[in-house]
Amino acid sequence: MTQVTLQSEVEKLVKEFTIDESTLKVLTEYFIESIEAGLGHSSDEHSKSLPMIPTFVTKVPNGREHGTYLAADLGGTNFRVCSVDLRGDSTFQLEQSKAKIPEDLLDAETSSELFSYLAKKVKQFVERHHADRLSTDEDKHLKLGFTFSYPVNQTALGKGTLIRWTKGFKIQDTVGKDVVELLQIELDKQQVPVKVVALANDTVGTLLSHAYASGASPSGKQGDSVIGAIFGTGTNGCYLEPIDEIKKLDPKIAEELKNKGETHMVVNTEWGSFDNDLKHLPNSIYDERIDKISSNPGYHMFEKRVSGMFMGEILRQVLVELHSKGVIFTQYPNYERLPHRLRTAFELDSEVLSHIEIDDSTNLKETELSLLQSLRLPTIKEERIAIQSIVRAISRRSAYLAAVPLAAILIRTKALEGYHKEVEIGVDGSVVEYYPGFRSMIRHALALSPLGPDGERKVHIQISKDGSGVGAALSVQSST
Ligand code: BGC
């Protein structure tokens, strides 16, 4: 029998977490299939397929849009209110205030507890920055775009019911309700002179703001903006699909849009829910354990392998398992004796992994400090070497998986077909922005995917800052 050592366990793990060329191919093909299935299904609350939600945004901006709009953004744990002045030359000015959502609101009994808090923040912002617009005259109400970064079943630009919460929110009462209406009711109750006219997912905001910013400056433009994507606490993406292909769209609405000359609509894929049935996604015991303790077991299975909310938890689960096998942290005789933080789910932030990923200090001293600080966990050099290998395996799996929807959408939309055709993908989110090497690992995987190295070279992945603020303003603009 071979001896179980830390090194042999790490080698097994790295192998298990490797996504090779053939897996990329299978996943990309399955993603394309799932897009087609999702465009055909009506998005009902219990559906496990790719949601593929029509957004009622029918074009991307060209940079010449202008006007002053309000935007509110409920994303991870923060709520932002902004006032965006689009100047019509691809630039904008933005004022904002940001507040951390109080913990007790994440699992409040009623929706109104959360939405009255949001309305209060909008009110404070308007009083501070738009005192001149505090009119009771409805026609003069400021128009607000609401970036709501959770899956909603959108039925019009300014209407959408929550399918389910993700990323830690657990307010059951909100599921099935129109989130625009919930916010408007509370704004009206507090007599805030604001009308919520557009609802936008953060990915839609990212696509719109990216197109706006690169639109009117041809010198900086490297191709059409074709995908808006988020790789942060959660992950998701959107792109333009021909209206005729969105079979689930009410035929009357499709006809009306086409009569107005519209040809395409942005679709919010909600790719966090790709392959919820785990037909092809890798599934380790760590993934299974995380799913069980998550707020939405059985859903968002792709997100649980890719996004920042879960990378740290995967590492924590792996470390606890290695300890139970007796190959790491042997000074602790049993699970109960491990440092409390190492026993606490979701305690380990992906930011810690980002330091370990690139630690090249002597004896991995920085890793030692990071683990001491974040988990109160002392380590020896051999353990740190093992932990660094595990961290790199986790982030590489995440980035390689992240490439799958990008490759699939580019292939499905034939975005790279044409002479010297190049495309831009606007991205936002803490992982893609700050995790060292994440973007280049996505690129490696794109080259290895069915897109191939030639396709990969024509793809420009660009950080699009403030997507959720500027994008919401742009979606208001598209409602006018
Ligand atoms: C949500 C998406 C969102 C993504 C990124 C996911 O958990 O379901 O709606 O776009 O996170 O914020």
pLDDT digits (tens, 9 = 90+) for 270-284: 999 999 999 999 999
From the CB of 272, is ligand 1 less than 6 Å away? yes
CA dihedral of 388, 389, 390, 394, whole degrees rounded to 10: 100
The atom of ligand 1 lying closest to the CA of 75 is 12
- Give yes or no for residue 172 having a pLDDT over 70: yes
| pLDDT value at residue 45 | 46
- Give yes or no for residue 346 having a pLDDT over 90: yes
Provide, rounded to the nearest whole percent, the portion of the chain with pLDDT above 90.
Answer: 86
Helix 381-412 with 308-324: angle, nearest 10 deg:
140
Indicate whether 293 belongs to any domain: no
| pLDDT value at residue 468 | 82
DSSP state of 217: -
Q: Specify the number of domains making up the chain.
A: 1
Find tokens 């009506």 and name the residue: 42
From the CB of 230, is ligand 1 less than 6 Å away? yes
- Give yes or no for residue 480 having a pLDDT over 70: no
Residue nearest (by alpha carbon) to ligand 1 atom 3? 149
Indicate whether 351 belongs to any domain: no
Indicate whether 232 belongs to any domain: no
Q: How many CB atoms lie within 10 A of CB 104?
A: 8
Residue 465 region by backbone torsions, left for phi larger than 0, else alpha for psi between -120 and 50, else beta: beta
Average pLDDT over residues 368-389: 98
- Taking the C-alpha atoms of residue 124 and residue 449, their distance in angstroms, rounded to an integer, is 49
| pLDDT value at residue 228 | 97
Instruction: Return the best residue to mutate from 148, 163, 270 for the ligand 1 pocket (most ligand atoms within 8 A of CB).
Output: 270
pLDDT band at 342 (very low <50, low <70, confident <90, very high): very high
| pLDDT value at residue 127 | 93
- Give yes or no for residue 219 having a pLDDT over 70: no
- Are 57 and 103 within 8 A, CB to CB? no
- Taking the C-alpha atoms of residue 214 and residue 226, their distance in angstroms, rounded to an integer, is 12
pLDDT tens, position by position, 107-139: 999 999 999 999 999 999 999 998 776 666 666
- Are 200 and 147 within 8 A, CB to CB? yes
334: its two tokens: 């049993």
pLDDT tens, position by position, 228-267: 999 999 999 999 999 999 999 999 999 999 999 999 999 9
214: its two tokens: 């690169």
- Give yes or no for residue 44 having a pLDDT over 60: no
The amino acid present at 103, given as its one-letter code, is E
CATH number at residue 152: 3.30.420.40
Q: Which residues are catalytic?
A: 149, 164, 202
What's the predicted TM-score (pTM) here?
0.94
pLDDT tens, position by position, 71-114: 999 987 789 999 999 999 999 999 999 999 999 999 999 999 99
From the CB of 413, is ligand 1 less than 6 Å away? no
Helix 365-375 with 350-357: angle, nearest 10 deg:
170
From the list 315, 290, 317, the residue with the least C-alpha distance to 303 is 290
- Tell me the average pLDDT of the chain: 93
Classify 340 as helix, strand or coil.
helix
pLDDT tens, position by position, 181-210: 999 999 999 999 999 999 999 999 999 999
Indicate whether 44 belongs to any domain: no
pLDDT tens, position by position, 408-430: 999 999 999 998 899 999 999 99
| Phi and psi angles of residue 243, each rounded to the nearest 5 degrees, phi first | -55, -40
Instruction: Output the CA 373–ligand 1 centroid distance in Å.
Output: 30
Indicate whether 259 belongs to any domain: no
Give 141's Cβ-side CA count (13 Å radius): 18
The atom of ligand 1 lying closest to the CA of 150 is 9
* Out of 44-48, 277-281, 296-300, least confident range: 44-48
Find tokens 């900086």 and name the residue: 220
Instruction: Output the CA 191–ligand 1 centroid distance in Å.
Output: 30
Helices (H), 101-152: 103-106, 111-129
From the CB of 166, is ligand 1 less than 6 Å away? yes
- Give yes or no for residue 217 having a pLDDT over 60: no
- Are 228 and 207 within 8 A, CB to CB? yes
Indicate whether 353 belongs to any domain: no
Strands 78-87 and 92-100: antiparallel
CB within 8 Å of 433: residues ≥ 6 apart: 232, 427, 463
- Are 455 and 403 within 8 A, CB to CB? no
From the CB of 303, is ligand 1 less than 6 Å away? yes
- Give yes or no for residue 404 having a pLDDT over 90: yes
Strands (DSSP E) found in 232-333: 235-242, 264-268
Indicate whether 164 belongs to any domain: yes
pLDDT band at 478 (very low <50, low <70, confident <90, very high): confident
Indicate whether 196 belongs to any domain: yes
CB within 8 Å of 50: residues ≥ 6 apart: 31, 34, 35, 37, 38, 269, 270, 271, 273, 274
Long-range Cβ contact pairs of 282-288 (< 8 A, separation 24 or more):
282/16, 282/17, 282/19, 282/23, 282/397, 284/16, 284/17, 285/317, 285/321, 286/314, 286/317, 286/318, 286/321, 287/314
From the CB of 73, is ligand 1 less than 6 Å away? no
Strands (DSSP E) found in 107-234: 142-148, 152-156, 159-162, 194-200, 224-231
- Are 144 and 122 within 8 A, CB to CB? yes
Q: Which domain holds residue 99?
A: 66-205+469-478
- Give yes or no for residue 383 having a pLDDT over 60: yes
- Give yes or no for residue 332 having a pLDDT over 80: yes
